[in-house]
Amino acid sequence: MAFNTGAALLDAITLAVVAQDEGGTYGYRITQQITDVLDLSGSTLYPVLRRLQKDGCLLVRDEAVNGRNRRYYQVTDKGRGQMQAYREEWRAYTQKIDKLFWGDEA
């Protein structure tokens, strides 16, 4: 059984992955890291990256690597603030769900 991964959760996960590398990371690597954990197609994540860029949460730069263009993504200050808000919401949400699943054992 798989749980639905909505847009807000994909945004949060993507920001968390990009934030792991302070200097930024490239799209294919982000996709690989996420699809190693979640059952998603790589094409699902590029719209998420574009949305986060449009919202000011990610900076984007292009670099030539071995004669090919590679697009790098880096979390902005706004993105770090948004990621912190997602973390707080996630913690509160999972505590409530844990309470439902395991009662007082949680």
In the chain, % of residues over pLDDT 90: 68
pLDDT tier at 1 (50, 70, 90 boundaries)? very low
- Which two structure tokens, joined as six digits, stand for 8? 């807000």
Give the range among 22-26, 37-41, 92-96 with minimum mean pLDDT: 37-41
3-state secondary structure the chain: CCCCCCHHHHHHHHHHHHHCCCCCEEHHHHHHHHHCCCCCCHHHHHHHHHHHHHCCCEEEEEEEECCEEEEEEEECHHHHHHHHHHHHHHHHHHHHHHHHHHHHHC
Q: Where are the domains of the chain?
A: 7-105
pLDDT tier at 6 (50, 70, 90 boundaries)? confident
- pLDDT tens digit sequence for 61-82: 999 888 899 999 999 999 999 9
pLDDT tier at 2 (50, 70, 90 boundaries)? low
CATH code linked to domain 7-105: 1.10.10.10
- Cα distances (Å, whole numbers) of residue 17 to 54, 91, 99: 18, 17, 28
Predicted TM-score (pTM) of the model is 0.87
Q: Is the pLDDT of residue 102 over 70?
A: yes
